[in-house]
Structure 1
Amino acid sequence: MWLKRAIFAANEEYLVGIVLDGVRVWRVEDGKQITTMVAESARCLAVSQCDKWIAAGTDNIGVIMWDAKTYEQVLRYKDSDTPNILGVDFSPDSTRLVFATWLKATVWDIATCKQAHTLHHHGHGWVKTVQYSPQGDRIATASHDSVHVWDSNNGGLLLEIPVTVTPEFNQGLRWFNTHLFILSKSTLKQFDASTGSVVAQWPVSESNSLSCITLPKNVEFIAYSTNSTITFWDTSTHTQLGLVQYPEVNSIAISPAVRFSQLVEGNSASKAYLISS
């Protein structure tokens, strides 16, 4: 089984992951596979906080969204100029979907099935990450050389932060309250998302395009994976809390209530480890 990305549902009842033939859903309780939804060359994933929608960004057929109960496809959108999607996310109230392409991100209204805003990212190349803030009032987009913060209501640009974001596919940037954690080469950086100032930064092992950072809501630690190493850091003191090693980790996910950690290992001979905390 080729497994590349994974994410927990908000209710922790199931996992969603990218596999070779599409997007697969497993039940957490017993690991049973529930279904596989066809999505050729899927790269990134999102599950709405209401657990009603699942979305995937693909390499050449745009963005696809499914009903998370029936697994029926409810949206397929392909921009004729830029069909490759590197980042996708839902608003906290689950009413909007945002996805990242070449030099822009598109905000999609789910109820009307129409485009709400286009966020033109003035950076270098692809927008590789797009994420709503926990409050839903802002959206962060990241290209190779900058992060932009937008007003999610009117699409206005609020802030530009000159910083390199190394990982792709929504894995190198995370919101924490009103701050942004960004993985930049061999440094974890914490920015104030209102001013763009650096709040803290500390060295980590060298990252690459498949490295990943993640952190649970309301819990003050961050997990960082690169190659075969996963480290855990206190977000207040910036001290390392622990280190574990697995062969070739591609992605990590932490369940909303921090009951489980999920590690996606390998490319050709993949495994997923579900670890109870």
Structure 2
Amino acid sequence: MSAKVLSADPVIRRRDVIGSEITKIITHPATVIMLAITLVVNLFLAVIDASGLIFYTGAGPARLSSFGMVMLAPLYAFLVIPVWAAATEHHGGQLRMSLTATPRRGTFAPAKLTATTTVCLAAAVIAIVPARLVIGIASGLDPAELAQNCVQWVAVYVLMSLIAFGLAGVLRNTIAPLAIMIALPVVVATGILQWPDGIRFLPDQASLSLVGTPGYDVTELPPVIAAGVLVGWAVLSVVAYTIALLRRDA
């Protein structure tokens, strides 16, 4: 009668870890609430723009969609999703439980990043595409232009989410990263920082340039460059978080 030898280190499939992390994110109340808020506010702004309401500024009459900072404002509610995905690991011993289930951090870190990216991509499509379709159709955009506009907005949501995700993981906090992300455009709007060549490379300004509504003429970047800047910030944030997870949180 042969005895079966049980492995002390069972093989943990990456797809199972990714599935577990996705479940953890989408079942968190903050994910559902913030996604609903972002969707509703985006649709509200889109309806106002589609109604043809004109706003008069020093530069002349303009529709609401011309005010990039206003149209991008719902994004900062959306960022709660990736921030909670990263920072809540450090609340109430959740990280210890996650690492008990997946002791190999080299598996856990990329799985968590993949899960967060997947959830944020799907959530971004839900949160922003319906509003962009309303605005695009009302503005008479052709299908190609409409598709490009939707892709640009989704890209901003996903890349800004990755920046917030990495920042939250490094700081191990849910409030500080959101405060930093919100404070950046506020500080720029006050005019305290008189350095347009540097300000244009901040994430919020690059986001505005990518969607075609730069905050200021002097901070405008070509869309391709703006996309590259956001990718750079996202990579930097994610790498910093991964290093912290592998080294500092060991």
Normalised TM-score (structure 1): 0.19
Instruction: Specify the structure having the higher radius of gyration (Cα).
Output: 2
Higher relative contact order at CA 8 Å, sep ≥6: structure 1 or structure 2? 2
Higher helix share: 2
